[in-house]
Amino acid sequence: MSSAPDGMAAQILAGDRRALARAITLIESTRADHRREAEALLEAVLPRTGRSLRIGISGPPGVGKSTFIEAFGRHAISAGKRLAVLAVDPTSRLSGGSILGDKTRMEELSRMEEAFIRPSPAGLTLGGVARRTREALLLCEAAGFDLILVETVGVGQSETAVAEMVDLFLLLLLPGGGDDLQGIKRGIMELADIIVVNKADGDLAPAAERSAADVANALRLMQPLHKAWRPEVLRCSALKNIGIEAIWERTEAFAAALGGSGELPARRRIQAKSWLWHELSDNLLETLKSHPIVAERLIDLEAKVAAGKMAPATAARQVLAAFLGG
Ligand code: GDP
């Protein structure tokens, strides 16, 4: 099977969508031989990656993420882009399916030749989903997609994971969120490069205007993440397709500003290094847990720690000694 990734790499580089879909299935597999093939494939396509704008999209459930991605995606395509939509959805392992797997979402976009939509892999932890999404992102770039949207369902940790793999983090909010900003934690606000108040239409338009002003005030108190960019607040109606073009223009302005200041390539270098460390710590932990002597010792040590008969630090040191000794 070792030649399979070579053929596959060529197909992906030629923009073959079915090969791309198969390759993403390969990288989502946890089988050791599949992992080796996936790594060979990623090595083969790596020189052809990195030429897209990577945008993370987050926001509370019901804010209109899929409606927005549909409108934004259509606009990007009309501007000559080819876009891939990936998801980081840590809930998909609970429901057994993915939110993005729901056929009614992004219906129009999913029928377009210039778009590629891939649901979140099921059956993985958030760390696993994030790792595989990063790899899928590289494969999509190699296949010639020059705009990658990574959607996250607004629950806790997934936003941080997405912010670590994209160039631009776009946060969607609802009109009239009030002081608590719709349960969006301050830390997540701080990750945002562009904040968009969606549903700025009909009866909700005045509330959207007030929310945008509130968010703009809150942002003024925050330390900007970049030298060349201050986070911006915009309004749109994804449903009525109002304000989408302005958002598209600001994403391009962001890319130009951070590309010009050198912060974009710097951010990607930091992300790549941090990815290496995530891989290392995950792999080390898996190797350690599957070590036969360690696994046996762990049963006993875990029981002792749980019963309060041994300090966790002592147990951890003994586990490491067993691992390194054998
Ligand atoms: P998601 O859960 O964040 O992906 O949200 P959806 O895109 O599924 O949208 C949730 C609901 O909000 C749907 O009923 C949409 O039709 C509606 N919606 C989305 N965008 C807008 C908008 O701009 N204006 C209005 N009035 N409704 C919207």
**Residue nearest atom 7 of ligand 1, based on CA coordinates:** 64
Domains and CATH numbers, the chain: 1-48 (1.20.5.170), 49-261 (3.40.50.300), 275-324 (no CATH)
In ligand 1, the atom with minimum distance to the C-alpha of 238 is: 23
Q: How many CB atoms lie within 10 A of CB 97?
A: 15
CA distances from 174 to 84, 109, 183 (A): 25, 23, 11
Among 152, 239, 241, say which to mutate for ligand 1: greatest number of ligand atoms within 8 Å of CB. 239
Q: What angle do CA 245, 250, 253 make, to 5 degrees?
A: 130
Identify whether the C-beta of residue 181 lies closer than 8 Å to the C-beta of residue 173. yes
In angstroms, rounded to a whole number, what is the distance separating the alpha carbons of residues 3 and 20? 17
pLDDT under 70: residue ranges of the chain:
1-5, 90-104, 123, 154-156, 177-184, 326
- Which residue(s) pair with 150 in the sheet? 56, 86
What pLDDT sits at residue 123?
67
Confirm if 139 and 23 have CB atoms less than 8 A apart.
Answer: yes
The CA 23 to ligand 1 mean position distance, Å, reads 32
Residue 246 tokens read as 């302005």
Chain centroid to CA 13? 22
pTM: 0.90
Query: What is the rounded CA–CA span in Å between residue 91 and residue 1?
Result: 33
How far apart are alpha carbons 221 and 153 in whole angstroms?
26
Q: Which of 119, 130, 165 is nearest to 25 (CA)?
A: 119
Q: What is the largest CA-CA distance in the chain?
A: 69
Q: Which of 57, 65, 67 to mutate to test the pocket of ligand 1 (most atoms within 8 A of CB)?
A: 67
* Number of alpha carbons in the 13 Å side-chain half-sphere of residue 135: 27
Q: Which atom of ligand 1 is nearest to the CA of 151?
A: 4
- For the Cβ of 63 lying below 6 angstroms from any atom of ligand 1, the answer is yes
Beta-carbon contacts of residue 140 (< 8 Å; ≥ 6 apart): 20, 52, 84, 86, 116, 148
* 311's tokens: 């300090």
Question: What pLDDT, on the 0 to 100 scale, is given for residue 223?
Answer: 85
